[in-house]
Amino acid sequence: MNGEPLSRAELLERPLLKRNLAALAAGDQHRAAAWLTEAPGLKAVAEVNGESGEPIVVAGGQTQASRRDPAREAGLWLDKLAGQNRLDGDGELILFGLGAPWPAARLLERFPGRSLWIFEPDPLVALAVLSHHDFSAHLAGPEPELRFLTPWQVAEEKVPAGAVLLIHPPAQRREPARLSRLRRALDHSHPDLAPLSGRKPRLMLIPPLSGGSWPVALSLGRAAEAGGYPFLFLEWGPELNHLEEAAQKAPPAEAGRLAARLFELAAPQAAEAAADWRPDLVVALAQAPLDAPALERLRAAAGAPLAFWLVEDYRFFNYVAEVAPAYDALFHIQEGLIEPVLKNWGLSRAWYLPLAADAGLFRPRAEAETAGYRADLSFMGAGYPNRRRLLTRLAERYWPRTGRPAEAFRVFGSGWSGADPALKGHLFEGGRRVSLPECALIYAGGRVNLNIHSSTRPNPEFEPESRFVNPRTFEIAAAGALQIVDPRPLLPPMFQEGRELVTAERPEDLPDLIDHYLAHPEEAEAIGRAARARVLAEHTYVHRLERLLASLGWTES
């Protein structure tokens, strides 16, 4: 066993695992068997040899038991629990973590007939352990001694009442957010929304230090102010910003140390602010610098529910799976894609909440205001591979035949280093980063705005499977401008095709659409006006904040 990653397919071929899974599936634990064999893993799982030759599971780079004498280590752990009177009585036991077989095996030996539940959040870790120890006799029968809890049961809080929780230390280090979720399920300790008694709720908004969700946090703060909600917008100190900048530039080992220090400093700052403000609800934005232990500390200080608005594609941000279960409620932008994952995270309080526009910032502008940003054809965004491919083709094959000057087709934004020479002449100021106020001027100054959602793959250039609508869609509409957008399954209920925006079904459709709306500016202007009216009626951050509170069942009395 050389520590190479193990696949589920490889594990499922092992005889002991087959025997254990058959015993699970034969009884009333078929849902647990299905979860183990189908749910995605959380960490890379491998095995190494212990000193006596027994296999030791490695999850996320961490060994889940001592290499020297794991069986003795398990016995000492139980002796410690017994000395703390944690094992007294005859009630049911829940063991958090099955990173090694010996803790569960020793519990079954010492307490025959006493029900033992296992909650191992990572199915691949559980499969690896079950492939090396025969638990089938304890799993069989109508009332087995050994049972498995799935994240679905934890999400629904269908856990044994009054059970004693035992925590295997390696699992606590590996999955702190899921331990937090299990504890709340056992205690039914979700903080409830405080009665309003005729007042508006006190909100605490926690932004990231930077990134794409930073402007969303700012807009949500302005929405709270416009809606008359008392709110605290947490201002992170300069030390955290400096640490983040340093971590982004440092080599991996040093970046990890700096990130750990960042989280260490963020936790007390957030908790102290919450204890002072006493909010009714805490709302954290994606990439807020809070890990699971920090969220536990924040919940205790605030005495209020913690909500998380994930305004990113969850598939590209590994931290989301690490922290999401530690929140009491989650809001997301990927309806029809993320729901099975939410169940595996142990979350039942989760709602679709699309992005929106800050209509005070994004609005029609006078021609003099947009003078430096005007373009016949405009694109604003980072240089993702699919956009590079598409815009380069437009620059090479389409734009020259229009007879319009090169500077009338402009590409704004950063991340375009190494762009094809055909595209370089269209980059605004060499591809520098533009500010949010500049974005508002860019959209208002574009006669035709291209809105191509990002993809890390160059092909396909349109990728509707990502199932989210980017903020640019709402912001261009709020600016009263025409946009041509790639197909998005979630878009039709939000905007009316052909009246409030224009969809290009295929990349090949773009030249004809661009030609048409450049030749018919009155149609483009009418679509822009209708789009802004739709945003003002349905798609501002005030609307989103009200929907967030309503989803939680909060109504003013």
Per-residue pLDDT, 1 = 60
Give the integer Cα–Cα distance in Å for 98 and 121.
9
Give the integer Cα–Cα distance in Å for 386 and 402.
23
Name the band, by pLDDT with cuts 50, 70 and 90, for residue 189: low
Find the angle CA(306)-CA(311)-CA(316) to the nearest 5 degrees: 110
Amino acid at 259: A
Contact 56, 64 (CB under 8 A): yes
How many H-runs (helices) and E-runs (strands) does the chain carry?
24, 18
Q: Are strands 55-59 and 62-63 parallel, antiparallel or unpaired?
A: antiparallel
Per-residue pLDDT, 317 = 86
For the entire predicted model, the pTM comes to: 0.90
Per-residue pLDDT, 142 = 80
Q: What is the mean pLDDT of residues 387-412?
A: 96
Per-residue pLDDT, 156 = 86
Q: Is the pLDDT of residue 557 over 60?
A: no
Per-residue pLDDT, 192 = 66
CB-count burial class (<10 Å; 0-12, 13-18, 19+) for 227: middle
Helix (H) / strand (E) element for 273: namely helix 252-277
Q: What is the mean pLDDT of residues 507-523?
A: 98
Q: What is the radius of gyration, based on Cα positions, of the chain?
A: 27
Select from 350, 355, 304 the least CA-distant residue to 325: 350
- Which 3 state secondary structure label does DSSP give 498? coil
Considering only residues 40 and 448, tell me which one the structure prediction assigns the higher pLDDT. 448
Tokens 């009665």, located at residue: 195
Contact 448, 517 (CB under 8 A): yes
Phi-psi region of 287 (alpha: psi -120 to 50; beta: other; left: phi over 0): left
Residues 6+ apart with CB under 8 A from 426: 391, 395, 399, 406, 407, 409, 410, 411
Q: pLDDT by residue (tens digit) across 56-104?
A: 999 999 999 989 999 999 999 999 998 888 888 888 999 999 999 999 9
Contact 468, 496 (CB under 8 A): no
Find the angle CA(411)-CA(416)-CA(418) to the nearest 5 degrees: 130
Ranges assigned E (strand) in 25-67: 45-49, 55-59, 62-63
- Which 3 state secondary structure label does DSSP give 125? helix
Q: What is the mean pLDDT of residues 241-264?
A: 88
Does 460 sit behind a cis peptide bond, omega within 30 degrees of 0 on the bond before it?
Answer: yes
Q: Is the pLDDT of residue 131 over 90?
A: yes
